[in-house]
Amino acid sequence: MRDATPTPPPPADADSQRLAALGYESEFKRDMSLWANFSLGFTYLSPVVGVYTLFAASLMAGGPPMIWAFVIAGVGQLLVALVFSEVVAQFPVAGGVYPWARRLWGRKWGWMTGWIYLLALLSTISAVAYGAGPYVAAVFGFTSSTKTTIACALGLLLLATLINFGGTKVLSAAAVFGFVAEIIGAIVVGAWLLIANRHHGLSALFDSFGAQGDHSYLYAFSAAALIGVFQYYGFEACGDVAEEVPNPGRRIPKSMRRTIYIGGAASMGVCLALILAVTDFGAVISGKDADPVTSVLTEAFGSGGARIVLVVVLLSFLSCAMSLQAAASRLTYSFARDRMIVGSRVLATFSERLHVPPNALLLAAVLPALIIVGSAYSADALVKIISFSTLGIYLAFQMVVFAALRARMRGWVPSGDYRLGRWGIPVTVGGLAYGIVALVNICWPRTPGTPWYDNYIVLVSGAVVVGIGALYMAVAKPHLRGDAPAGDAVATQTGGPVVESSSSAASV
């Protein structure tokens, strides 16, 4: 597993030439540095958002040992990130998983991958904005309710949208600021909790405190593991903006790996500090202490200090929503540029003044807003939104990993600046195996006392999304529109690329 031999930075126009060879002429400005690209992935992964959003639910489900879910998910998603690194190095095109799947397999596979990922991204934006609501209430001192949570979520979404309309430079600056604020906040808060407010030793990490009830602990841990599964994505956002990064074939793989390493370490650190600072695990597991994060912060910092900490938490939620929006808008633009989606002419509009796709950005604000408003009619809305979001993103990820494995078996030899070499097949198989296990765990029904449609809500919602996409593809045939290259990763015996034509696409 290695990078290619270091080479001098390419000339300024080499990126445009490389993109032209892949069949595109970019309208974006390459204003995003390596540091900003990594910050975008980090703020999308967001240790604070991931941990603070699901800490109470996971601790209630599995007790302190739920922290080990971060290790399992981190290793599994690192394998996926390595596969993505190899693919983006060869195909540094805006839109991430959609163009990757398209080039690795073909039009139909690429379209369905992009469709699933886009809806999951839009759902994730709403989940992050919705999850911020209770913390807004805690900062400003009003009682959190469904109505106030929805209002706060819409306000956060509006602010993230305004930042994104500032263009790549503003997005980069906001991402770096968000990263610095979050990492400093995580280190300072975590260190203080471990030094001055620790109530348990490390042995607590191996004690479930009866969280499993009458079930085996594996059952309880699987339910609690959603916190780890939800945490480790965001690295793909580094590739979503590939046309805004100079020398993307070398820089983006570095950003992806750093997102996993640094984001994962920060996530485990935050979670560890919170767990050891919880006074009474029994109260959390029983539901008596429904908001252990606020309880811990108030005990450690007082009401005034806790509010300061929660301001940093809100900055993390804002940065995360902003990064998600950026990823979703670039995917939508990439989809529309290839004429793959209804309203392509409108969604492919690009602002020369702002250097962003404005209509794609608006879509990444309006649809999440509708999901947030609709959550008023669903019990336990946050967990359901997160569960579907995670299912969709993991499914899209595994479609790319599976396409990469298929391409390898058919003779694909990666030719980008980052290559796995002889580790390619083991890493790809490992990433695929992890993803399948994670998908099964996400879909597993765990509320037998509820109606079947609620118990199977994640699986049902996933099936509906795939079914609607398949129906739309069968009727409208969006995958046959446009002449963008597809299925050209695999070389023929003569060494030339296999480029899928519109007529051959229907057989993929």
CA 375, 343, 128 angle in degrees (round to 5)? 30
Has this prediction a pTM greater than 0.85? yes
> Is 2 a domain residue?
no
pLDDT given for residue 294 in this prediction: 85
> Is 47 a domain residue?
yes
Q: C-alpha dihedral over 97, 103, 109, 112, to 10 degrees?
A: 40
pLDDT given for residue 160 in this prediction: 94
Return the exposure string of 18-28: e unless at least 16 CB atoms fall within 10 Å of the residue's CB, then b.
Answer: bbeebbbebbb
pLDDT given for residue 379 in this prediction: 56
> Is 41 a domain residue?
yes
pLDDT given for residue 381 in this prediction: 65
> Is 66 a domain residue?
yes
- pLDDT string in tens for the chain (508-residue length): 445 445 555 545 788 888 888 888 878 888 899 999 999 999 988 888 889 888 999 999 999 999 999 999 999 999 999 999 999 999 999 888 999 999 999 999 999 999 999 999 998 898 889 888 888 888 888 888 888 888 999 999 999 999 999 988 898 899 999 899 989 988 999 999 999 999 999 999 999 999 988 888 999 999 999 899 888 888 999 999 999 999 999 999 999 999 999 999 999 999 999 999 999 999 999 989 988 998 998 899 988 888 888 888 888 889 989 999 999 999 999 989 888 888 899 999 998 888 889 999 999 999 999 988 887 766 566 666 777 788 899 999 999 999 999 999 999 999 899 999 999 999 999 999 999 999 999 888 877 777 877 788 888 888 988 999 999 999 989 888 878 888 989 854 334 444 444 433 333 3
Token pair recorded at residue 142: 């009003």
Q: In whole angstroms, what is the distance from residue 113 CA to residue 199 CA?
A: 46
Domain of residue 122, residue span: 31-505
> Is 3 a domain residue?
no
Q: What is the CATH number of the domain that holds 378?
A: 1.20.1740.10
Q: In whole angstroms, what is the distance from residue 232 CA to residue 253 CA?
A: 16
> Is 14 a domain residue?
no
Q: In whole angstroms, what is the distance from residue 292 CA to residue 200 CA?
A: 15
> Is 454 a domain residue?
yes
DSSP single-letter state for residue 233: -
**Residue closest to 382 by CA, chosen among 152, 104, 45:** 152
pLDDT given for residue 380 in this prediction: 63
> Is 11 a domain residue?
no
Please name the residues in contact with 193: beta carbons below 8 A apart, sequence gap of 6 or more. 273, 274, 276, 277, 296, 300
Dihedral pair phi/psi, residue 353, rounded to 5°: -80, -45
User: In the chain, how many domains are there?
Assistant: 1
pLDDT given for residue 505 in this prediction: 36
